[in-house]
């Protein structure tokens, strides 16, 4: 199967599509820009969703659901919001065989309709903070769709919170950015740079937008998730107010934050190789596959019995395991099948292994093989999975660090970027016009102003002005 996957060093975009096809993650839908998420791809998303959902609930959030249809007038009530989303809106004008009195927007995001409901539900400081999240689909009409990364319809979660003070809302904004950062590191095994977006890249309607930026295998950046401090912008438009402890009416301060199925794309591109997927164990639908071999041998029934027992023991100990007992398929075919799908550990068991009281463990992370005692195979496999999870993060971090550069001037940046794609840390004191120039001449953007700054001062790489701020630039998806 890997022979059907393009060498990522020759054509990275084609490689990405090949991996999605061969690993059976998604397929094209009849509507341009939409995708059908296949069971294996959806299983990866479900594991991400379950992990994140538990984190949200641990931080006091509860799930709700809001309609997919939003009155068009709601979108128009916040000027920056409508300006930012108008090119991407899908609008329903007819339903039930007649023209609607008011067009309905298919949900691109839910700040407007949620504020409409907040204004009904919030009356007093006793109702605050209100901490909600919803898992839903959204529609944004993409001109250049790419599976998982940018599709017309995609799945996501969007958190929406209301607070009595700016301080509380800002704390919530940063708390959730931290949740996303920890998830990416510990679960997705992808190092990210948390930072603030520039005004040009800020979410439409927000006061401040924060992001986590990840590096993909070709050195390009991917925005993994965002967390926004909305201030009172939407509260003023929708009259979302409360009576404070002094019986004075105040506007609520708000945050919103979200990640989407583009995280599946991030995992593909951050960890995949020329043979397909490589999945961190925590989000692998199948963490270990047991493959009996030597089925033509007279001892085949004993091998199959031992393989079934091993699979049952692994399952009982919480390992997501599959026994590949398919007939009329060679071991090599089975090996390739699971390799393309990124299964972290393959356990091969044959007559000689059984005789020696061992099982051969093949690791997807590097293709290495090791023999482990059959009697302790469950404990050894669990230990291997933990080790692989840690190593994948370490390898990804080393990859990112090796492709993070510094540029002293714009000319230096333009010269180096085509041959050395990656993250470029620069001293920054530029304007939105400067950002536009960078994008026009290099196709790169200011990904973020990192929360962690080096200290000291330098000269802005594009204006030459003295500054204490650094930024990260990269080409991005």
- DSSP letter string over 295-319? TTSTTHHHHHHHHHHHHHHHHHTT-
Q: Which domains does the chain have, with CATH numbers?
A: 2-271 (3.30.930.10), 286-387 (3.40.50.800), 404-475 (3.30.110.30)
Angle made by CA atoms 404, 265, 4, in degrees to the nearest 5: 105
Query: 150, 262 in Cβ contact below 8 A?
Result: yes
The pLDDT, as a whole number, for residue 349 is: 97
Cα(113)–Cα(132) distance, integer angstroms: 13
Tell me the pTM.
0.96
Tell me the C-alpha distance between 248 and 246, whole Å.
Answer: 5
Question: Which residues have C-beta within 8 Å of that of residue 373, sequence separation ≥ 6?
Answer: 357, 358, 359, 380
**Residue 44, both tokens:** 């990866």
**Looking at residue 340, what DSSP letter applies?**
H
CA distance 431 to 56: 36
Phi, psi of 213, deg, nearest 5: -110, 125
For 302-312, b/e burial (b = at least 16 CB within 10 A) is: ebeebbeebbe
Residue 163's CB: how many other CB atoms inside 10 A? 21
First to last CA, the chain: 27
Task: Provide the residue-wise pLDDT of the chain in tens; the chain has 477 residues.
Answer: 567 999 999 999 999 999 999 999 999 999 999 999 999 999 999 999 999 999 999 999 999 999 999 999 998 887 676 677 778 899 999 999 999 999 999 999 999 999 999 999 999 999 999 999 999 999 999 888 999 999 999 999 999 999 999 999 999 999 999 999 999 999 999 999 999 999 999 998 999 999 999 999 999 999 999 999 999 999 999 999 999 999 999 999 999 999 999 999 999 999 999 999 999 999 999 999 999 999 889 999 999 999 999 999 999 999 999 999 999 899 999 999 999 999 999 999 999 999 999 999 999 999 999 999 999 999 999 999 999 999 999 999 999 999 999 999 999 999 999 999 999 999 999 999 999 999 999 999 999 999 999 999 999 999 999 999 999 999 999
Report pLDDT for 79.
Answer: 67
Cβ neighbors of 157 (< 8 A, separation 6 or more) are: 49, 52, 53, 56, 133, 134, 135, 136, 258, 259, 260
């Amino acid at each position: 199967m890997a022979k059907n996957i393009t060498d990522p060093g020759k054509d990275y975009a084609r490689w990405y599509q090949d991996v999605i096809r061969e690993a059976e993650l998604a397929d094209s839908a009849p509507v341009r820009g939409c995708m059908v998420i296949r069971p294996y791809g959806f299983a990866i998303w479900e594991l991400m969703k379950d992990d994140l959902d538990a984190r949200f609930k641990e931080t006091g959030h509860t799930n709700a659901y809001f309609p997919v249809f939003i009155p068009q007038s709601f979108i128009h009530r916040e000027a920056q919001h409508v300006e930012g989303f108008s090119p991407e809106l899908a609008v329903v004008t007819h339903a039930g065989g007649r023209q609607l009195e008011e067009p309905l927007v298919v949900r691109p995001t839910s700040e407007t309709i949620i504020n409409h409901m907040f204004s009904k539900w919030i009356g007093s400081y006793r109702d605050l903070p209100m901490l909600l999240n919803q898992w839903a689909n959204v529609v944004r009409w993409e001109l250049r769709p790419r599976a998982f990364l940018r599709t017309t319809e995609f799945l996501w979660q969007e958190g929406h919170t209301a607070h009595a003070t700016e301080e509380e809302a800002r704390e919530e904004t940063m708390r959730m950015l931290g949740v996303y950062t920890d998830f990416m590191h510990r679960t997705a095994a992808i190092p990210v740079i948390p930072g603030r977006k520039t005004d040009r890249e800020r979410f439409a309607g927000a006061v401040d937008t924060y992001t986590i930026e990840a590096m993909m295998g070709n050195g390009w950046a991917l925005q993994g998730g965002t967390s926004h401090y909305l201030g009172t912008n939407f509260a003023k438009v929708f009259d979302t107010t409360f009576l404070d402890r002094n019986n004075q009416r105040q506007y609520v301060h708000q945050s919103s934050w979200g990640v989407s199925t583009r995280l599946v794309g991030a995992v593909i591109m951050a960890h995949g190789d020329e043979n397909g997927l490589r999945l961190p164990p925590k989000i692998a639908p199948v963490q270990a596959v047991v493959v009996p071999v030597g089925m033509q041998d007279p001892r085949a029934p004993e091998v199959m019995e031992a393989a079934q027992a091993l699979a049952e023991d692994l399952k009982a100990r919480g390992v997501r395991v599959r026994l590949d007992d398919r007939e009329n398929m060679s071991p090599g075919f089975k090996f390739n099948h699971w390799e393309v799908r990124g299964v972290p550990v393959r356990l091969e068991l044959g007559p000689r292994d059984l005789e020696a009281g061992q099982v051969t463990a093949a690791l997807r992370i590097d293709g290495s093989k090791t023999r482990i005692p059959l009697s302790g195979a469950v404990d050894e496999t669990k230990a291997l999975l933990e080790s692989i999870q840690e190593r994948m993060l370490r390898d990804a971090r080393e990859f990112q660090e090796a492709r993070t550069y510094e540029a002293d001037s714009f000319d230096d940046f333009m010269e180096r970027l085509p041959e050395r794609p990656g993250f470029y840390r620069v001293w920054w004191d530029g304007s939105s016009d400067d950002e536009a120039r960078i994008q026009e001449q290099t196709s790169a953007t200011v990904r973020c102003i990192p929360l962690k700054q080096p200290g000291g001062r330098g000269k802005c790489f594009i204006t030459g002005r003295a500054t204490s701020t650094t930024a990260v630039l990269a080409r991005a998806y």
